[in-house]
Amino acid sequence: MYKELTIAQRTIMTPGPVEAHPAVLQAMTNRILGQFDPNFLAIMDEVKEMIKQPFGTKNKEAFAIDGTSRAGLEAALIALIEPGDKVLIPAYGRFAFLLGEICERAQAQVKYVEKEWTAPFAPAEVIKEIDAFQPKIVAMVHGETANGQMQPLAEIGQYCRAKDIFFVVDMVATYGGVALSVDDWCVDLAIAGTQKCLSVPSGLSLVTYNERVEAVLNARYQKELGLSKTDRNKRHIMSNYLDLSQLQRYWNTERINHHTEATSMIYALHEGLRMLLNEGLDAAYQRHLTNEGALVAGLEAMGLSIYGEKATKMPTVTPIFIPEGVDGEAVREEMLHSFGVEIASSFGDLKGKIWRIGNMGYSSRKENILHVLAALEGALLYQQAPISAGKALIAALNYYQKTT
Amino acid sequence: MYKELTIAQRTIMTPGPVEAHPAVLQAMTNRILGQFDPNFLAIMDEVKEMIKQPFGTKNKEAFAIDGTSRAGLEAALIALIEPGDKVLIPAYGRFAFLLGEICERAQAQVKYVEKEWTAPFAPAEVIKEIDAFQPKIVAMVHGETANGQMQPLAEIGQYCRAKDIFFVVDMVATYGGVALSVDDWCVDLAIAGTQKCLSVPSGLSLVTYNERVEAVLNARYQKELGLSKTDRNKRHIMSNYLDLSQLQRYWNTERINHHTEATSMIYALHEGLRMLLNEGLDAAYQRHLTNEGALVAGLEAMGLSIYGEKATKMPTVTPIFIPEGVDGEAVREEMLHSFGVEIASSFGDLKGKIWRIGNMGYSSRKENILHVLAALEGALLYQQAPISAGKALIAALNYYQKTT
């Protein structure tokens, strides 16, 4: 016999998934509505409008995809890519290679520009590569959770627009936690997730795109066989499930029968967006900055060093060098099992070298910052690591007092 | 300012999404756990085992995909299909063409065998077509929600196995409501959903497959670029998000970093499966049969006719001819808006000709059967349709008394 779920109490300070907002968890207890019930369609329409605000866009199109963030990334890229298309991917962290993996599988011709992960690109470097490669698409990550760095986008976007190149940006780790300006930055297609700064469980991704992308979608639209045997289109998108040209017609007034919308997750998304907009976007961004400041003050007071360029550091992720001689995984396990506090390791070359502390959405709260500092200090001291004891919490509290 | 969600009270008697089990809705209020938290991994492991039981399989592999049912269908088909592969699709309803749409997009060479939607195929008809076309894959729908018919699978599956052909079956509309025998029927790869007889919200799909399929997945596995730059494989699956060879390694002890699992939906799935197994599979199937019997007795007493062959009718969907002169959509709207009861229309040639009443999962309850009969009778009488008044509820109640 299987037993009832018992879920441990955790303070989640990873770069996602993070703690869901209590109003979001509550929303999921609502009864199911039929997917074409007018009550449900009204909720979808509100969600559409709310999604646009953290993106900083007046685009007509914005909606959710029933899949985790990488479902949105794949839907976005395969919407634009036809076999042989050239895609430029400037990579200053791990997730650029996920974009590349998706593009390669869509049979694009991909060129990577690589650099040290300690900082993003100077826009001029990317522009030089655009001139050399002449891509159809430039795909980038706005905030790299793997290393905590954030790419300035405006100049690159404006250059792409002038050259009629599509600019696709992964905003999964910044949406809701950092001010975004999709329109001003000339981002044609932007993708976000729910499990980070929105404080909604993982399971949906969010997209928005402009008329340049819509024109491509209209040219590639193929109504599916079960609904029409005549509307065939040789340029159709390679996936049915992740076909933005169909999804758009499910979310707009045409309401074609595509998938069965993930009812409870849409309830959750509605409430997550509503909580964020009620707090006020500027207030939410400031909250993330304040909590980041306190966290960094505490970590540095402990004697730990932050990885990467400070000027381009994401407020939502703080990567920390694991002190020499310390077993990073043993510390993480002590924190999880004894303190109930979760922090993250990293990927690739940074695996074993840094920890990452998230500061996202509902997890970005004063008490969580203090919990994570206390647990990290405790676990390090228990391992006899050479850190300054008794300084971190005072530094963080002083920071809060100074700024709030 | 956006207002709090207000969800109407509905009795959902469509073929999905249906009412979620209260224990399932409650489960989603649990706190988030990190995706690699041992507590969460233990839940995933239990889910894996529980998924197998309604499928009737001892397969090693069974897991959930973070997407609605058609995400599972697409993942299943693209796992096996390489460009040019021959796929035979016997179609006795609408959803066979969704399988075809997916196969065509995966560049398969698809042959459809079509027939009247009133009944499924005699196995011999399909076997004849297999001999003629010599496909690599036969893909079929077990229960067609569009027309309420159900395909006998054992003979076809055994023939495919003998000929070393892959047999892929969509069990979305029967899983949890009808006894399934994936192993005995020689189904190599089966797909189900959550929003029908499992009484879990839409948003996940379930798959199980045997060692024949696993061998293909092992031959096609490509570790993604963000995790390894060397493990390239020319035969890789065309999608990253829906790549079963990666998803398997996320769900098993290898635990590769693929997507961020949809935490709350997995909690919901755990509880939905647990409720079903606690009730007992045989008891649940009998409940669906009893409620179907009462529904049909009531409808026939009202003077309505059931569409399609009775011997092969699904217990979980009842298609009814709309009486001549009656505006089917007006009746559905009256039922929804005045009675709060939802039933479905249909697709293709059956649009405007039949209604469909679902009888699935938590919605398959005596009070719901009585509600839907009362509401349908009321809406029809209000439209002055020529039906027998005052008979339906008595017939249903007599049926219950006789059988329980």
Structure tokens at A368: 């969580």
> Does the CB of A257 have a partner CB in chain B at under 8 Å?
yes
Q: What is the mean pLDDT of residues B143-150?
A: 96
CA dist A172 and A145 (Å) reads 9
Specify whether A65 is located in the same domain as A184. yes
- The vertex-B147 CA angle with B79 and B293, nearest 5°, equals 115
Has residue A4 been placed in a domain? Answer: no
CA dist B121 and B114 (Å) reads 9
B274, B50 contact by CB (below 8 A): yes
Q: A7 to chain B, minimum CA–CA distance in Å?
A: 7
User: Which residue in this structure is represented by tokens 């808006």?
Assistant: B337
Domain boundary among B217, B244, B276: B276
Provide the chain A residues 95-134 that lie in CB contact (below 8 A) with chain B.
95-98, 100-102, 104-106
- DSSP assignment of A269-301 equals HHHHHHHHHHH-HHHHHHHHHHHHHHHHHHHHH
Specify whether B163 is located in the same domain as B236. yes
Provide the chain A residues 16-45 that lie in CB contact (below 8 A) with chain B.
16-20, 25-35, 37, 39, 43
Among A39, A40, A50, A241, the residue to mutate for chain B (most B Cβ within 10 A): A241
Has residue B12 been placed in a domain? Answer: no
Domain boundary among B221, B247, B276: B276
CATH classification at residue B292 = 3.90.1150.10
Nearest by Cα to B197 from B404, B61, B20, B11: B20
Has residue B171 been placed in a domain? Answer: yes
Among A103, A104, A195, A225, the residue to mutate for chain B (most B Cβ within 10 A): A225
Specify whether B271 is located in the same domain as B381. no
Specify whether B271 is located in the same domain as B288. no
Query: What is the ipTM metric for this complex?
Result: 0.97
B284, B292 contact by CB (below 8 A): no
Specify whether A42 is located in the same domain as A68. yes
Specify whether A205 is located in the same domain as A322. no
> Does the CB of B384 have a partner CB in chain A at under 8 Å?
no
Specify whether A311 is located in the same domain as A357. yes
**B11-33 as b/e, with b when 16 or more CB fall inside 10 Å?**
bbbbbbbbbbbebbbbbbbbbbb
Cis peptide before B17 (omega within 30 of 0): yes
Nearest by Cα to B314 from B292, B343, B294, B299: B292
Specify whether B94 is located in the same domain as B240. yes
Pairwise CB contact (< 8 Å): A69 & B260:
yes
**pLDDT of chain A, 404 residues: tens digit per residue:** 789 999 999 999 999 999 999 999 999 999 999 999 999 999 999 999 999 999 999 999 999 999 999 999 999 999 999 999 999 999 999 999 999 999 999 999 999 999 999 999 999 999 999 999 999 999 999 999 999 999 999 999 999 999 999 999 999 999 999 999 999 999 999 999 999 999 999 999 999 999 999 999 999 999 988 888 888 999 999 999 999 999 999 999 999 989 999 999 999 999 999 999 999 999 999 999 999 999 999 999 999 999 999 999 999 999 999 999 999 999 999 999 999 999 999 988 899 999 999 999 999 999 999 999 999 999 999 999 999 999 999 999 999 999 97
pLDDT score recorded for residue A96: 97
Q: Which residue of A has its CA nearest to B1?
A: A278
Has residue A170 been placed in a domain? Answer: yes
CB contacts of A236 in chain B (<8 Å) are 105
CATH classification at residue B215 = 3.40.640.10
Among A202, A257, A273, the residue to mutate for chain B (most B Cβ within 10 A): A202
Q: List the beta bridge partners of residue A166.
A: A137
Specify whether A312 is located in the same domain as A168. no
Specify whether B254 is located in the same domain as B398. no
Residue B394: other Cβ atoms inside 10 A:
12
pLDDT, tens only, B242-296: 999 999 999 999 999 899 999 999 999 999 999 999 999 999 999 999 999 999 9
Q: What is the mean pLDDT of residues B43-66?
A: 98
Has residue A35 been placed in a domain? Answer: yes
Q: What's the structural domain count of chain B?
A: 2
Q: Which of B202, B225, B268 is opposite residue A97, by nearest beta carbon?
A: B225
Structure tokens at A37: 């019930």
> What is the pTM assigned to this prediction?
0.97
Q: What is the domain range of residue A367?
A: 280-403
pLDDT score recorded for residue B227: 82
Specify whether B165 is located in the same domain as B286. no
Domain boundary among A251, A276, A301: A276
pLDDT score recorded for residue A229: 84
Specify whether A72 is located in the same domain as A208. yes
pLDDT score recorded for residue A348: 83
Has residue B53 been placed in a domain? Answer: yes
> Does the CB of B403 have a partner CB in chain A at under 8 Å?
no
Has residue B8 been placed in a domain? Answer: no
Has residue B6 been placed in a domain? Answer: no
